[in-house]
Structure 1
Amino acid sequence: MDREQLIQQVSKKIKLIRVEYRYTQDRMAAILGVSKKTLVQIEKERTLASWTTVVAVCALFLESDVLKGLLGDAPLEIIETIAHNQVDRTEKRIIKGRVWWTTSEERKRFKLQQNVISQHYRIIDELGNRWYSSFDKEATLFRYSQLTKND
């Protein structure tokens, strides 16, 4: 798959992704950073999405069943590989992003962390999988208490 093929395939699925998320055209256009007119043109297959829009769709709708049906479970890996022509991860990073996060609480399965730059919060499991993220501290603490009530 190359860039043009990916653009064509994702462009054809944007409307289905929007419907899957129950978004209006106005909302979807705002999320993707395009005008409603542009979104309508893409959905009616009168024009193709730009590369930037395709990247945004893949990044912002990772959990979309429509997108997974098209690209499997790693749309960002596909985007990254196409953009760079290859991705070589033979050198493992020792820090693996920990420098950007402070852990404020840790239980058996979950960690509550805050990003030192953006100040947003996240909850990750012992494997580093993100379960929740928000700028709202109270909402994050509530979700953390729900996830850890049996720990």
Structure 2
Amino acid sequence: MTREEFIKNTDELLRLVRTEYELTQESMALCLGISKKTLVGIEKGRGSLGWTGAVALCSLFSQSSILQNTFGGDMQDILSALAFERVQPKYPKTMGGRVWWEEVQQGIGWHIQQNYISRHYRLLTDDDRHVCSSFDLEKVKLAAAEYERVNAK
């Protein structure tokens, strides 16, 4: 999934999320920091939240079952995968991915998982610390090889 696909999906889900939370267009616009006119345009397919608005929607409404079922669980994880596509931060420990994740590959001290819904990958250490995320499996495999090389004892 690219940022553009993600933005398109969030644009299409905006009205459903607003309805799920029982918000008026005016209330939702206030939450997202946009005008009601802009929100109406997005809901009618004549505008877009853009990257910042899509991130705001998914962050503020991260408990939305509509968003979770569309993107595969934890909204923060997919936002991180897209936001840090070209940057490598230090991630905190995860819960290990018991619901939304399939084990893809294991190595010495690490394992790669793929999200069932969004199909993005993540590299975790054996104690479930997040090392990187990407939609490119080869990029995650390279990070795994580097992690194994650096942490070999």
Return the TM-score normalized by structure 1.
0.57
Deviation at 1:9, TM superposition (A): 0.5
Query: CA 1:88–1:44 in 2, change beyond 3 Å: closer, same or farther?
Result: same
Q: Which has the higher contact order (CA 8 A, sep 6+)?
A: 2
Residue equivalent to 1:56: 56
User: Counterparts of 1:82 and 1:89 in 2: how far apart (Å)?
Assistant: 13
Query: CA 1:89–1:24 in 2, change beyond 3 Å: closer, same or farther?
Result: same
Unaligned runs of 5+ in 1: 94-151
User: Counterparts of 1:71 and 1:32 in 2: how far apart (Å)?
Assistant: 20
What is the root-mean-square deviation in Å for CA atoms of aligned residues? 2.1
User: Counterparts of 2:27 and 2:91 in 1: how far apart (Å)?
Assistant: 40
Deviation at 1:81, TM superposition (A): 1.4
The one-character-per-residue Cα deviations of 1:55-86 (angstroms, maximum 9, x if unpaired) are 00110001101101111112111111111106
Residue equivalent to 2:83: 83
Larger Rg: 1
User: Counterparts of 1:85 and 1:46 in 2: how far apart (Å)?
Assistant: 28
Matched residue count? 93
Residue equivalent to 2:36: 36
User: Counterparts of 1:91 and 1:61 in 2: how far apart (Å)?
Assistant: 22
Query: CA 1:41–1:90 in 2, change beyond 3 Å: closer, same or farther?
Result: closer
Residue equivalent to 1:69: 69
Q: Any runs of at least 4 consecutive aligned residues in structure 1 with deviations exceeding 4 A, and if so which?
A: 86-93
Q: Identity over aligned residues, as a percent?
A: 40
Q: Is the 8 A contact 1:14 1:43 kept in 2?
A: yes
Q: Is the 8 A contact 1:7 1:51 kept in 2?
A: yes
Q: Is the 8 A contact 1:81 1:87 kept in 2?
A: no
User: Counterparts of 1:55 and 1:8 in 2: how far apart (Å)?
Assistant: 12
> Counterparts of 1:1-151 in structure 2 under 5 Å?
1-85=1-85
The one-character-per-residue Cα deviations of 1:70-113 (angstroms, maximum 9, x if unpaired) are 111121111111111067577768xxxxxxxxxxxxxxxxxxxx
Q: Is the 8 A contact 1:32 1:53 kept in 2?
A: yes
User: Counterparts of 1:17 and 1:46 in 2: how far apart (Å)?
Assistant: 18
User: Counterparts of 1:91 and 1:72 in 2: how far apart (Å)?
Assistant: 19
Query: CA 1:91–1:51 in 2, change beyond 3 Å: closer, same or farther?
Result: closer
